[in-house]
Amino acid sequence: MKITVVGAGNVGAGVAQRIADKSLAREVVLIDVVEGIPQGKALDMYESSPVEGADVKITGSNDYEPSAKSDIVVITAGIARKPGMSRDDLQNTNAGIVKSVTEQVVKYSPDAILIIVSNPLDVMTYVAMKVSGHDRRRVIGMAGVLDTARFRSFIAEALHVSVEDVQAFVLGGHGDSMVPLVRFTSVGGIPVTELLPKKTIDEIVTRTRNGGIEIVNYLKSGSAYYAPSSSVTQMVQAIVQDKKRILPCSVWLQGEYKLNNVIVGVPVKLGAGGCEEIMQISLTDEEQAALAKSAAEVQVNIAKLKL
């Protein structure tokens, strides 16, 4: 396995390091436009490998040639939010960046599976899909794993239980109207509604929706990267090890969940083939309406793109 991470900033460097530490690839290539940054970070990571016990070759570059024939490419290039900015405020700048990055990625690694991270996530996944010409199995956006991790950690905190025992998923676009599905949330198999009062669950849903901005308001100079890099790495692991994990990912929908021509988060089977299947579940009218609202917001932003 050869994995390239484009964007050697907070998320990209974290992803490269986690992939290397878990020995998920023989070779990791880190790419960025800023001279010296990917090279320096990659060398620093490589020097940690004797301590971590991971035999992974990690290199950094400002061009794409060293990334040739990658199996997976993670795209984190772009600008991040600062206080007062929404993810949508990043759209014009990041669309240009993701377009040019995808063109290079496809030129050097035509067979790679692409995992998109740059925001606004669902729209940038659309940009990568259009520019690459790949079908939806090979262009997958990361957001649902992160939003679900936030939801799960807040529930575990409220109940003083292990995070491992909290199962949940969040559907929809990676924005304020994402849809945490309380009905499918359980703790050790027990529905969360049996364990927490509605008021607490509602507060956790709201905190999950605002999970990104909560971190931005603390950091001020950028956005979250520890949980995002963990979330990307879980998706990479599912593909590398053909685990067939069921994870919420942003993919192109063609009639699934009564949605057409839009990218939003839905439960997906992730394995060696990328997005191998979209898992369909019946939603209540209220859940369906919330998902449709979230998807409509993504569609409005897709329509604003000039590719």
Q: Could you say whether residue 238 binds ligand NAI (CB under 6 A)? A: no
Cβ atoms of 252 and 136 closer than 8 Å:
yes
Total residues in contact with ligand NAI, by rule CB under 6 A: 35
Give buried/exposed letters for 173-203 (b at 16+ CB in 10 A, else e): bbbebbbbbbebbbbeeeebeebbeeeebee
Q: Does 8 bind ligand NAI (CB under 6 A)?
A: yes
3-class SS at 253? strand
How far is Cα 131 from Cα 112, in angstroms, rounded to an integer? 14
Q: Shortest Cβ contact with ligand 2OP: which residue?
A: 212
Closest alpha carbon to 299 in 263, 266, 274, 275: 263
Residue closer to ligand 2OP by CB (options 60, 248) is 248
Residue with smaller CB distance to ligand 2OP, 20 or 232:
232
- Which of 81, 136 has the CB closer to ligand NAI? 81
Are 136 and 115 within 8 A, CB to CB?
no
Residues that bind ligand 2OP (CB under 6 A): 81, 87, 119, 174, 211-212, 215, 223-224
Q: Residue 88 or residue 287: which is nearer to ligand NAI going by CB?
A: 88
| Order of all β-strands in the sheet with 186-187 | 166-167, 186-187, 190-191
- x/- binding map, residues 120-139, to ligand NAI, per CB under 6 A? -x------------------
Residue 8: contacted member of ligand 2OP, ligand NAI, none (CB under 5 to 8 Å, by partner type): ligand NAI
How far is the C-alpha of 67 from the C-alpha of 61, rounded, in Å?
Answer: 9
Q: Is 101 in the site for ligand NAI (CB under 6 A)?
A: yes
| Active site residues per annotation | 174
As a whole number of angstroms, the distance between CA 176 and CA 213 comes to: 10
Smallest distance, ligand 2OP to C-beta of residue 151, A: 12
Would you tell me which residues interact with ligand NAI (CB under 6 A)? 6-12, 31-34, 76-81, 90, 94, 97, 100-101, 117-119, 121, 142-143, 146, 174, 222-225, 228
